[in-house]
Structure 1
């Protein structure tokens, strides 16, 4: 076999409060998606997995979560990049993936391996300019050159406050870097929106998040992985079913959802007087094997707090870009990340 399964941004964590043993219900959801990915990739002949960073959502995962993930990835040779969520610092072993070494090859800095007719170079999380320097230092063996990184990829569609951030690279600069180093394929993690470019002989894939893991994320698509045949040098998309976390707000009527999900989580953040209507609406989705219902009646509200926070974040970053350009955006993003992770 000669196929690598590239995935990214698993964000394994014990989300939510309901706990069964070492795992919460939503923690089990994420692990189930990863196991399903290994099953599907095996059906398509994948004999190596590469996870392109942010394997965990936090840099200090609990032991029970680690044990369960170790069991899953032990099924097949696996390379795991250290992502920004995994990383405590840039010091060796100072990250969440260190305990994964008995069952996976962990990439902190640069690792290169050959597979089929290709040379695969993987670079652990660094800021953009550091990654560029690392790529220039790679000693490539013979074969078609393939690069795996943990950097968001921007283009002219990217919101202005995300362009030129230090954890991303513009697609034009990435193409230049590929040409400078004779790289034909690039696979990237970090940003969760799946995307793809084919520019001047360089095929570039922003893999996208493997699974939704919090309320408020997009719920209209499955997680994507890319199967790469290292003999034929061809790529194939594979979509992995998983959970959806949908919040319904305001007063009825609420939309009737046709959501492919396993499971579907419905959270009603509603005025207290609409609780009975919410329970009636939820009754349409009461398959206990595939649906979880959370009803949170509150005083009358018109906007989900998650949406308010997201809109406030966008406004702050746009103002930062207006006042101080990219350096200020980078600084503000760091501050927001530290506050969010507390």
Structure 2
């Protein structure tokens, strides 16, 4: 393999978002608000699903796992981004960079798998309602979730360890706001063709195949919906999966734009903006989309608020 004639480096300097100094603190506080709103929204969903008996169903169980994945993702990305906004970028050791990439890859892989499982859950509930309670019981749900987490942690561990064996050289400057795969590989002293091939294969397994399964599931769901005679029945059934379909469109749409469309000649600012969608935007939007468009979650929130108000009134 060809070796670049450059000195070895041990640190990475993430440039982050280059912006005028007079708006730096404004953007910082905007991202800080986004971070806390994301944490509160996803923690609210986890709490509601855990304590509200009306939400003890496979659909909401998978949703709570998706919220955990979102919290992992945004907590992995934004703290270092905050540091870079207040200073002139972020300086990380390669071990810290690999750790950030590892948890980023785990959460993205888990999100793909969970969104796929959720689409299959909706397929069973709508197209196979008589077999749903037997097929998707809580024992099966736990096995599916544990498998998803195990696959994410194990496979991405192998992937990250292979990248960590590379030697890196050059300036160590990366024009990005987190340690994504392509910026890391561009610093390698050696040819990374084999690793990029492995990444392509993993992408096919954890992005393309899940996306194909989701598409097929929704084709069957749409056919079933159109066979429902009443308009009210169609609307009611479609409302149970419209939130999930919206999240899938946002998440997979941005992933495809960043990792599958040709990046040659594409501005790094555009890449950063698209990366924001699936690293920051998706964890923020997921609880909003599910909460605003889901009657069960709204009713659970109302019950908790009424219970709290009743408790306060009786105490006073």
TM-score of the two chains, using structure 1 as the length reference: 0.27
Larger Cα-atom Rg: 2
More helix by share: 2
Between 1 and 2, higher relative CO (CA 8 Å, sep ≥ 6) is seen in 2
More strand by share: 1
